[in-house]
Structure 1
């Protein structure tokens, strides 16, 4: 923006400087021309007077002496025509077509008493002529070849000085414009960066109040808005956590009352009704657990984005041996897979021979794997589920491939949304929070979740995490 403003203002300054300098240069040229013309016309009239007097006395020697003295002093030529006689002094050539034409015009009583405007590129000389005679006829004329070199040198000197002054003033104005533009736009850039930081980090940003009064007021308003936004986000997180925590007490009390009711009623209890109540309680507890995990994952993501995590870096991120983590998770989930009829396979045929070490939080990784496996058990029962690892110089990719129905392109686009569930699975138990939790946790660990579905091959979920550069202290804790 600053360059665009400077470009526009600089162009306007160049136009203004050009106009002003043009006017001043014309003034210098006009003054120099007028001074020289006034001086030379005075000399020309003097020689006209001398020539008219010499014509009556028929004594031309004194006139020639005056002409020679003038030409020697000023370096200018004179041509006096009296009848058929011509007197010449200085560097004027009567045979020159321009001089001859001027003399002929003078014989027709057409004098030439204007010197062209003098500028640094003018000719070196100019002609002036003045006829003389009586009221009846022209008796002769005086033609002067004016030397413009001295006047042109003075014009060039003044013009150069004027150009230097104008350029210096223009450079000063441009520098002043640059400073003023920076003073005005610096707060604008800071406001823009602050807005981007608020959008990216969701954290308050303290802005320095600089620039014009309007921008200072805008900075104060933006700082207040950022604080309000941060407080609102914090209140929302606290509300979710406190609500989930407070709801557990009534749910536990209801479950206890249902158990007491079953004991009191004995065999007369409506088992189907009690089972329905217990199922709903299980659903509420599952939903509360999912909401709490999602709130925790989103809070972690916000902390990671804002760079304000309260956990020490050694706790937040560790070097995790991914292969061993997968082996432990397969062992942990084997019984659950058996209940759903799934075959859980850890495929390490394409795994690198060197340790596959990712930089992430071990508990987060274990939770992501558990969520994805739970989804695979639930939506691809009685199928083979393959866990594998791929590695690049900068990233580790953990793949979980089931062989269920998979998802369509439209379903894949919405799979990470909170509480969203596909149409064909809405009757089965679930909260629609599992993939959202995995997505937030992956991003909180500088990674990402990628879902892909191949016809007839089910859903493939890939967790991509940054590869650890140093892994001297590899951790297997979860």
Structure 2
């Protein structure tokens, strides 16, 4: 946007400078041509007065000598032509058939005043052509023809044009650098601040504020409106989080009491069907408690405002695999790993630990007992279309892949939503909040959670985190 505004200002200033400089150059050229024309008219009148006597008496020696001196002094062609367009005096050969010469000569023989030549620009090398009638007692005896080079006049016009062009360029550069660029920066600084703040709000940082003391009054009002909007969104979100957290916490006590009362009924129920229903009610109470715990964790995660920190991906993955290996061995599920050394990424504290716990738990529950593979790799940061966004930084991909039944394309589009569970997994223990909470904590740290079908079957869950910048060398 800054470039576009500068282009607009550049075009306007350029048009203004051209509107002022072109008439100035034109007026200078006209003045120079007029000065040269007046000088040639005076010379022609002097020759015409001398030629009238010479043509009438037939004695042209003095006229020829004057023409020779004039030609040598001014490097011009002078010719005296009689009424029949025959050359009487001509120190140098002159082509009377040349169109410009012929037109001027015919006007002079017709006793019409000489026409002032048009503008002589530096790239126009035509000479000055002046024809003045030679008259005696009202009769036209001939004409004086003067052809002068225009080099000197064109050189003066070229010098003035160059001076004006250099001055215009200097003025244009001064206006752009000293006036336009600071004004554009002053106008766009609040816009850039609003753009940055909008991206921060889109990432969930609703406490972001912009300065209300920069830019034009309209932009200040816009900044004030943005701050009010951000405060309102933050207050509304805080109210929702507080309600979820308080409701989850407050429901824990009556739910625990209900669970104890259900367990106490077991001594008074002797019917087998009643005992089955009693145990089912206790399981539903446990499931309800898990949902409340999940909601409480989700509310706390959304309320967290931790900053991203560099984490050792290799160490975190190795630690979580060691923690889950016993559970996998108890179920007889092979667990394989491909973890390179010294891989670092940017993420929220403990977010990768939580994500791996969720993904390893899901792979164990829904992988149908097939081997589970964990891989860590580094790749260019792209959007999946083959065009990287930050090729100089890249991302770290942590993938948990199983060989179970996986999810259909329609289920993959819905997976990760709150309380969503596949219809095939309704009888498997869970709340439907694990992937939602994982996705939130990963994205809050600038990462991404991708779910895709594995080949030939199964599910591949990938956590993508931005690569951490290299650590500065230790001081010696």
Please give the TM-score of this superposition, normalised by the length of structure 1.
Answer: 0.75
Counterpart position of 2:155: 153
Q: Decide whether the 8 Å contact of 1:345 with 1:387 is kept in 2.
A: yes
Distance (whole Å) between structure 1 residues aligned to residue 134 and residue 433 of structure 2: 114
Quick one: which of 111, 127, 130 aligns to 2:129? 127
> Which one is further off, 122-131 or 15-24?
15-24
**Corresponding pairs, count:** 448
Quick one: which of 199, 205, 215 aligns to 2:219? 215
What does 1:167-178 correspond to in 2, within 5 Å? 167-175=169-177, 176-178=179-181
Q: Decide whether the 8 Å contact of 1:389 with 1:398 is kept in 2.
A: yes
Matched, 1:294 2:298: yes
Counterpart position of 2:315: 320
Counterpart position of 2:257: 253
Deviation at 1:468, TM superposition (A): 9.6
Deviation at 1:37, TM superposition (A): 1.8
Q: Decide whether the 8 Å contact of 2:442 with 2:449 is kept in 1.
A: yes
Matched, 1:192 2:177: no
Distance (whole Å) between structure 1 residues aligned to residue 467 and residue 72 of structure 2: 96
Deviation at 1:464, TM superposition (A): 6.4
Distance (whole Å) between structure 2 residues aligned to residue 137 and residue 358 of structure 1: 108
Deviation at 1:429, TM superposition (A): 4.8
Larger Rg: 1
Counterpart position of 1:143: 145
Matched, 1:26 2:32: no
Distance 1:96 1:401, change over 3 A: same
| 1:137-168 Cα deviation digits (max 9, x unpaired) | 53222222334333333322322222222222
| 1:326-360 Cα deviation digits (max 9, x unpaired) | 2332325666x4xxxxx233346xx56x8788778
Counterpart position of 1:105: 106
Matched, 1:204 2:207: yes
Distance (whole Å) between structure 1 residues aligned to residue 44 and residue 468 of structure 2: 98
Distance 1:373 1:122, change over 3 A: closer
Q: Decide whether the 8 Å contact of 2:452 with 2:459 is kept in 1.
A: yes
Unaligned runs of 5+ in 2: 380-395, 472-476
Distance (whole Å) between structure 2 residues aligned to residue 123 and residue 363 of structure 1: 83
Q: Decide whether the 8 Å contact of 1:112 with 1:128 is kept in 2.
A: no
| 1:55-103 Cα deviation digits (max 9, x unpaired) | 55666566556656655664544333457996647x6434664498469
| 1:265-294 Cα deviation digits (max 9, x unpaired) | 676996466445434422321210121233
Q: Decide whether the 8 Å contact of 1:344 with 1:386 is kept in 2.
A: yes
User: Once superposed, what is the RMSD of the aligned Cα atoms?
Assistant: 4.3
What secondary structure is seen at the aligned counterpart in 1 of 2:128?
A: strand
Deviation at 1:33, TM superposition (A): 1.7
Counterpart position of 2:400: 399
Q: Decide whether the 8 Å contact of 1:111 with 1:129 is kept in 2.
A: no
Counterpart position of 2:375: 390
Deviation at 1:248, TM superposition (A): 0.8
> Which one is further off, 392-401 or 178-187?
392-401
Distance (whole Å) between structure 2 residues aligned to residue 318 and residue 454 of structure 1: 23
Quick one: which of 223, 238, 241 aligns to 1:237? 241
Q: Decide whether the 8 Å contact of 1:92 with 1:145 is kept in 2.
A: no
Q: Decide whether the 8 Å contact of 2:403 with 2:454 is kept in 1.
A: no
| 1:360-388 Cα deviation digits (max 9, x unpaired) | 899666654554455456546xx424344
